[in-house]
Amino acid sequence: MPNHEIPPGLWPVMLTPFHDDGRIDWAAFDALTDWYIESGADGLFAVSGSSEVHHLAREERVALAERALARTAGRIPVAASAIVFESLEHQAEAVREMFDTGVQFVIVGTCQLAGPHEGADIWTARAEGLLEMTGEIPLGLYEIPTPYKRLLTDEQCAWAAATGRFVFLKDTCCDVPTMRRRLEAFRSSRLKLYNANTPTLLESLDCGAAGFCGIGANYCPRLYAWLCRHHAAAPQAAAEVQRFLTRFDPLIESKYPAGCKRFLGQLGLPIGPRCRIQTEPITPEDEKKLSEFAAAIREIESGLEPAVGGECRG
């Protein structure tokens, strides 16, 4: 099997910058990639929900993965999704095509393998079929909330761990007891859990989660990276960071990803607010709240020990 050692820590879900006419802004994408790495990312999840994957052409998805790989230049690993809602054969083809770009592993959405009214047995049978058609390609699972959210059962988690093929779960259950059971099922396997939910992050890390893979990392990646790395050694500071991130989580979720792109523009990144996903307009009041959030981030970062830095472990 190809290298399956996935570093723990922060795995941002990459945004896709667009020009005003809707084309991908590659210069902005390069700048964003560098910013993730400089901010302490341990790996990158390209072609994710935050990348507006449902609004990308097949060629664009492949191009985004290739560009991320080129820009990271081996500094940290890159994963990318193959989220398609066609036949199992087409899904397997998409997985193989994405893996051929050179990504470390390919992520599939849990909802793409069965419809909302189909049972767990159908899901598992199709997942087994996908494994058979994709050779030894290492895979990740993503409980993506669109077009519908399909959470894995305890039995499916145990099955996935036992296959030896799955190395990454982007967990969106938002429930610590469920994560505890999943972590127990993963204990002696290659499969690692990366929490996507900010309010439960610290508790999940203390339970053994490998890291964070959620939208908050597109606002303040340094804080999330710090929490992933130092939560055990600095519990008081970790609790303070957790309270801060939880307090601002509603703002992070609001009008995403347009609000996030506007926020990054405020930070000086060359990224415009253009999205293919339709969101409500960004108001002057939103702008004010985002500016205040940026100031609050700088303040809490300045008081952390060990100091918040951009070194990566990948």
Counted domains in the chain: 1
Q: Which of 5, 20, 16, 11 is nearest to 228 (CA)?
A: 11
The answer to the question of residue 256 being in a domain is no
pTM for this model (two decimals) = 0.96
Question: Any alpha helices (H) in 134-214, and if so which ranges?
Answer: 154-163, 176-186, 201-207
pLDDT at site 310: 53
Residue 195 bridge partners (DSSP): 171, 212
Domain for residue 176, yes or no?
yes
20 lies in some domain: yes
Structure confidence at residue 4 (pLDDT): 59
Full DSSP string of 25-90: -HHHHHHHHHHHHHTT-S-EEESSTTTTGGGS-HHHHHHHHHHHHHHHTTSS-EEEE----S-HHH
**Where residue 223 sits, what CATH number does that domain have?**
3.20.20.70
Instruction: List per-block mean pLDDT (blocks of 10 residues) for the chain, which spans 314 residues.
Output: 76 98 97 98 98 97 98 98 96 98 98 96 98 98 97 98 98 98 97 98 98 98 98 97 98 97 97 93 96 98 85 42
Neighbours of 118 (CB within 10 A): 12
Q: Is residue 236 part of a domain?
A: no
Answer left, alpha or beta for residue 47, where phi above 0 means left and psi between -120 and 50 means alpha.
left
Specify the 3-state DSSP secondary structure of 208.
coil
Query: Residue 290 is encoded by which pair of tokens?
Result: 């985002």
Please indicate, yes or no, if residue 263 is contained in any of the structural domains.
no
CB 191 within 8 A of CB 155: no
3-state secondary structure of 109: strand
Interaxial angle between packed helices 154-163 and 120-133, expressed in degrees from 0 to 180 and rounded to the nearest 10: 10
- Alpha carbons 32 and 36: distance in angstroms, whole number: 6
**Domain-located, residue 79:** yes
pLDDT at residue 313 in the model: 42
pLDDT of the residue at 307? 86
Please tell me the predicted confidence (pLDDT) of residue 2.
Answer: 46
Residue 282 lies in a domain: no
83, 112 contact by CB (below 8 A): yes
Taking alpha carbons only, the member of 200, 140, 142 closest to residue 171 is 142
- What pLDDT does 308 receive? 83
Domain contains 182: yes
Q: Which domain holds residue 173?
A: 9-231
Which residues is 141 bridged to in the sheet? 108, 169
The crossing angle, in degrees rounded to 10, of helices 120-133 and 88-99 is: 50
Q: What angle do CA 162, 42, 97 make, to 5 degrees?
A: 60
Length of the chain, in residues:
314
Q: Are the C-beta atoms of residues 20 and 290 closer than 8 Å to each other?
A: no
Distance CA(137)–CA(1), nearest Å, equals: 7
